[in-house]
Structure 1
Amino acid sequence: MSTVDKQLEDVRATIDEEVPNRISVTDVTYEGPELVIYTRDPKEFATDDDLVRRLASKLRKRITVRPDPDVLTRPESAREEIRDIIPEDAAVSDIQFLADTGEVVIHARKPGRVIGRRGETLREITRAVGWTPEVVRTPAIDSPTVANVRTFLTQERDDRRDILERVGRQIHRDPMSSDEWVRVTTLGGCKEVGRAAYIISTADTRILVDCGDKPGERSEQPYLDVPEAIGSGATSLDAVVLTHAHLDHAALVPLLYENGYDGPVYCTEPTRDLLGLLTLDYVDSAARTGRQRPYDTEMVREAVKHCIPLEYGDVTDIAPDVKLTLHNAGHVLGSSVVHFHIGDGLYNVAFSGDIHYDNTRLLDGAVNEFPRVETLVLESTYGGRNDYQTDQGDSERKFKERLQDAAERDGTVLVPTDAVGRPQELLVVIEELMRSDDVPEMPVYIDDIIWEATAVHTSYPEFLRDGVADRLHDDDENPFLADQFTPVSDDEERRELAERDEASVVLSTPGMCTPGPVRTWLEALAPDPDNTLTFVDYQARGTLGNRIQSGRDSVSLDGESVPLELHVETIDGFSGHADRQGLENFVKTMHPRPEKVLCVDGDQSATQDLSSSLYHDYNLRTFTPQNLETFRFI
Structure 2
Amino acid sequence: MVIEDKLQELKEQINKIVPSGITISDVEFEGPELVIYTDDPKQFADQADLIKVLARDLRKRIVVRPNILEDPERAAQEIRTVVPENAGISDLFFDPETGEVLIEAEKPGVVIGKNGVTLREITKQIGWTPKVVRTPPIESSTVKQIRTFLRSVKDERKAFLRKIGHRIHRETTSKDQWLRVTTLGCCREVGRAAFLISTPESKVLVDCGEKPGNTANGTPYIYVPEIYPLDSLDAVVLTHAHLDHCALVPLLFKYGYEGPVYSTPPTRDLSAMLQLDYLDVVRKETDKIPYTSNEVKTYIKHSITLNYGSVTDIAPDIKLTFHNAGHILGSAIAHFHIGEGLYNIAFTGDFNYQKTRLFSPAVSSFPRLEALFMESTYGGSNDIQPQRRDAEERLYEAVSTTLKRGGKVIIPAFAVGRSQEVMLALEEGIRKKKIPPVKIYLDGMIREATAIHTTYPEYLNNDLRNQIFREGLNPFLADAFVQVDSPDLREQVISGEPCVIITTSGMLSGGPVMEYLKALGPDERNMLIFVGYQADGTLGRRIQKGWREIPLGWRETIVINLEIATTDGFSGHSDRKQLMNYVAHLQPRPEKIFTIHGDENKTIDLASSIYKRYRIETHSPMNLETYRMI
Same fold by TM (over 0.5)?
Answer: yes
Q: What does residue 541 of structure 2 align with?
A: 546
Unaligned 5+ residue runs, structure 2? none
State how far apart, in whole Å, the 2-side matches of 1:305 and 1:236 are.
Answer: 19
- Which residue of structure 1 lines up, in the alignment, with residue 583 of structure 2? 587
Cα deviation digits, residues 91-117 of structure 1 (max 9, x gap)? 211224445654333222343432334
Instruction: Kindly tell me the number of residue pairs found equivalent between the two proteins.
Output: 628
Separation of aligned partners in 2, 1:221 and 1:527:
35
Query: Are residue 46 (structure 1) and residue 26 (structure 2) matched?
Result: no
2:574 matched residue in structure 1: 578
Deviation, structure 1 residue 540: 0.7
1:466-477 equivalence runs, <5 A: 466-473=462-469, 477=473
The answer to whether 1:525 aligns with 2:523 is no
Distance change (3 Å), C-alpha of 1:204 and 1:99 = closer
- Aligned pair 1:404/2:400, yes or no? yes
CA distance in 2, matches of 1:98, 1:401: 50
Match of 1:240 in 2: 236
Paired residues of 2:503 and 2:513 also in contact (CA < 8 A): yes
Aligned to 1:56: 55
Distance 1:495 1:218 in 2: 30
CA contact (8 A) 2:407 2:527 kept: yes
Is the 8 Å Cα contact of residues 495 and 520 (structure 1) preserved in structure 2? Answer: no
In structure 2, which of residues 115, 120, 124 is the aligned counterpart of residue 123 of structure 1? 120
1:237 to 1:99, Cα distance in 2 relative to 1, 3 A: closer
Letter in 1 for 2:330: G
Distance 2:72 2:492 in 1: 51
Q: Which moved further from structure 2: 483-492 or 423-432?
A: 483-492
- The one-letter amino acid paired with 2:599 is D
- Counterpart of 2:153 in structure 1 is 156
**Alignment of 1:597 onto 2:598:** no
Deviation at 1:523, TM superposition (A): 0.9
Greater displacement, 599-608 / 470-479: 470-479
Q: CA–CA distance in 2 between the matches of 1:465 and 1:100?
A: 32
Corresponding residue of 1:144:
141
Mark the CA change 1:338 to 1:482 in structure 2 (over 3 Å): closer, same or farther: same
Write the deviation string for residues 83-141 of structure 1: whole angstroms up to 9, x where unpaired. 12223333211224445654333222343432334433221211222222133443211
Residue 422 of structure 1 pairs with residue 418 of structure 2: yes
Q: 1:306 to 1:74 in 2, by over 3 A?
A: closer
Matched, 1:496 2:492: yes
| 1:151-187 CA-partner distances (Å, limit 9, x unpaired) | 1111111111111111111111101212100000000
Compared CA separation, residues 330 and 147, structure 1 to 2 (3 A): same
**Counterpart code for 2:13:** T
* AA in 1 matched with 2:571: S
Structure 1 residue aligned with 2:255, among 250, 254, 259?
259
Residue of 274, 280, 284 corresponding to 2:270: 274
Aligned pair partner of 1:457 in 431, 453, 470? 453
The one of 212, 216, 222 equivalent to 2:213 is 216
Q: How does 1:1-16 map to 2 (within 5 A)?
A: 3-16=2-15
- 611-620 or 215-224: bigger deviation: 215-224
* Residue matched to 1:78: 75
For residue 374 of structure 1, what is the amino acid of its counterpart? Answer: E
Aligned to 2:289: 293
Runs of 5+ consecutive residues of structure 1 not aligned to the other structure:
none
Residues 101 and 274 (structure 1 numbering): CA distance in 2 closer, same or farther, change over 3 Å? closer
Indicate conservation of the 8 Å contact 1:8/1:28, yes or no: yes
The answer to whether 1:108 aligns with 2:128 is no
1:34-64 deviations in Å (ceiling 9; x for gaps):
1111111111000011211111111011111
Quick check: 1:67 aligned with 2:62?
no
Distance in 2 of aligned mates of 1:117 and 1:182: 47
Kept after mapping to 2: 8 A contact 1:254/1:300: yes
Q: Deviations over 1:393-439 (max 9, x none)?
A: 10010011112112312211111111100100111111111122222
Report which stretch shifted further, 146-155 or 488-497.
488-497
Q: Are 1:406 and 1:504, in contact at CA under 8 Å, matched by a contact in 2?
A: no
Greater shift in the superposed pair: 123-132 or 251-260: 123-132
- Cα deviation, residue 13, structure 1: 0.4
Query: What letter is aligned with 1:547?
Result: R
Q: TM-score, normalised by structure 2?
A: 0.97
CA change 1:584–1:497 in 2 (3 A) is same
Q: Deviations over 1:483-520 (max 9, x none)?
A: 111111355543431122x2211111111111221111
Structure 2 SS opposite 1:572: coil
Counterpart secondary structure, 2:508: coil
- Residue number in structure 1 paired with 2:32: 33
